[in-house]
A and B are shown apart, each in its own frame.
Chain A
Amino acid sequence: MRVKHHPILGEDRRKEDATIIVDGRKIKAIAGEPIAAALMAAGIRVFRKTPKKNQPRGVFCAIGRCTDCVMTVNGIPNVRTCVTPVEDGMVIETQNGLGKWREIR
């Protein structure tokens, strides 16, 4: 959920001007915001599953330190979504375990 109105920060006038594809589903996002913020705004909380026990993980530190929020972005695994900005048309996948590199054609 986005914080549109804020008593200190005022109105958020940014527009959802980008579309990202998350596990095949189109989601509206703001170009330049972190991928993690766009997913959180869309109510997505599980970003990856752990390699051994297949447990869900999401955002923990949100400043690029803990690596809990890594996902596969445009075919590249282990991308820290909390510090990687959204670009229009990005393809984002929930990462299973250590992830797989997309085959280079």
Chain B
Amino acid sequence: MKKTQVAIIGAGPAGLAAAIEIARAGGEVTLLDENHKPGGQLFKQIHKFFGSGEHRAGIRGFKIGEQLLEDTEKLGVNVLLDSPVYSIFEDFVIGYTHDGREKAIQAERIILATGASENALAFPGCTLPGVMGAGAAQTMINVHRVLPGKKIIMVGSGNVGLIVSYQLLQAGADVVALIEAAPEIGGYGVHASKIRRAGVAIYTSHTIQEVIGEDSVEGAVIVGLDEEWRPIKGTEKFIEVDTVCIAVGLSPLAELAWLAGCEFAFVPSLGGHIPKHDRNMETTIKGLYVAGDLTGIEEASSAMEEGRLAGIACAESLGLYSEEKARHLKEKVWARLDALRTGPFGEKRRDAKRKLMDLMEGGADIG
């Protein structure tokens, strides 16, 4: 059986950043991903990232992706593509498939960076072709350069809903409306202002009642909501669209962490069930680390920092870094992470993450 010092599962921003850190420390890394290309969801992010200069703010996501790929190549990271991992067995034996064949690789340490998937929303007509995840539409326009539709309604006003609405406009679609069930817009004001200026009607306290169509979407009925989130009769409005994009959050892809036997905590503000981990990103299983959206839904910038943390901690545990050197490196990453987790959105996540990490020190469960 093939052996490797560190196996990283998932070649998105977190996995790539972790791989780079370990390779820099002199470790031997194998990075596995089920896709044909590394980069995860970075290459569909054509907007400029937030944060300070240190976070490479102002640089577009796909440019950051290109840089990460260049670094992994330069450092000689072994990347196994088209290799979906289906389980983690005893003694860190990783089962995956490649080219229709069963394969296995054994690692001394494992870092899971499997990311997240988009949530669905249930309403009559939600399964009709033309109803899709906002991230799906983003992948289609920005990576594959294909428009999913001409007239689009966006459901959800978090940053994904706002940013993808703008990017659909950039790609040439008409975003007819954006609706939000809460009384206020969920994402950053700057993003909301941009699409407002572009003429997108924003309906807060509105939800989708049903989507109409024979074989695919032909229109949507939206309805106003009262303070108790109940539909208000008489406020129904038919909007002619051919595509409905759903941006109602993401859920961590935690299957491998479950299979490996990690302990979990349920943290709604981070997206659901999250593998418990400490400040080194190590789970309740010694030598098994996690990073990125799997540890709570955030942004690519924080995913990369978490990947770096996991990478440095992993390198330290292998004796590639002294305790002092590792502490110094980790402190720098933590400073950047804390800076990313500021503001009304970031602080909520920072508090949730802190509580989650406290659990590793025997704290009470999160309510």
A positions within 8 Å CB-CB of B: 1-9, 12, 14, 33-34, 37, 40-41, 45-47, 55-66, 68, 82-83, 85
Contacts and interface: CB of A to CB of B under 8 A. Distances in A.
Contacts of A46: 129, 215-216
B118 interface: yes
A61 B118 contact: yes
B4 interface: no
Contacts of A1: 146-147, 150, 172
A62 B129 contact: no
A6 B44 CA distance: 13
A64 B117 CA distance: 10
B145 A12 contact: yes
Nearest to A40: B146
B326 interface: no
Given A1-B147, A41-B146, A8 B46 contact: yes
B132 A62 contact: yes
Given A1-B147, A2-B146, 18 more contacts: A1-B146, A3-B141, A12-B145, A40-B148, A45-B215, A45-B216, A46-B129, A56-B128, A56-B215, A60-B120, A61-B117, A61-B118, A61-B132, A62-B137, A62-B140, A63-B117, A64-B35, A83-B35
A62 B147 contact: no
Contacts of B215: 45-46, 56
Given A45-B129, A58-B130, A34 B144 contact: yes
Interface of B: 34-36, 41, 46, 60, 117-118, 120, 127-133, 135-137, 139-142, 144-148, 150, 170-172, 215-216, 253
A98 to B, nearest CB: 17
Q: Which 8 A-B pairs have the closest CB atoms?
A: A58-B129, A62-B136, A37-B144, A45-B129, A45-B216, A3-B145, A62-B139, A65-B117
A95 to B, nearest CB: 13
Contacts of A7: 170
Nearest to A55: B127
A2 B16 CA distance: 30
Contacts of A85: 36
14 contacts: A2-B146, A2-B147, A3-B141, A9-B46, A12-B145, A14-B145, A46-B215, A46-B216, A56-B128, A56-B215, A57-B129, A61-B118, A63-B139, A85-B36
Nearest to B138: A62
B58 to A, nearest CB: 14
Contacts of A56: 128-129, 215-216
B117 A9 contact: no
Given A1-B150, A9-B145, A37-B146, A60 B132 contact: yes
Among the interface residues B133, B135, B150, which one has the most CB atoms of the partner chain A within 10 A? B133
Contact of B132 (A12, A55, A59, A83): A59
A37 B140 contact: yes
B136 A3 contact: no
A62 B130 contact: no
B121 to A, nearest CB: 11
Contacts of B140: 37, 40, 59, 62
Nearest to A64: B34
Contacts of A47: 129
A83 B105 CA distance: 24
A12 B141 CA distance: 11
Contacts of A64: 34-35
A34 B145 CA distance: 11
A10 B102 CA distance: 41
B117 to A, nearest CB: 5
A4 B147 CA distance: 10
Given A45-B216, A63-B136, A63-B139, A8 B60 contact: yes
Contacts of A2: 145-147
Nearest to B243: A45
A21 B117 CA distance: 31
B292 to A, nearest CB: 15
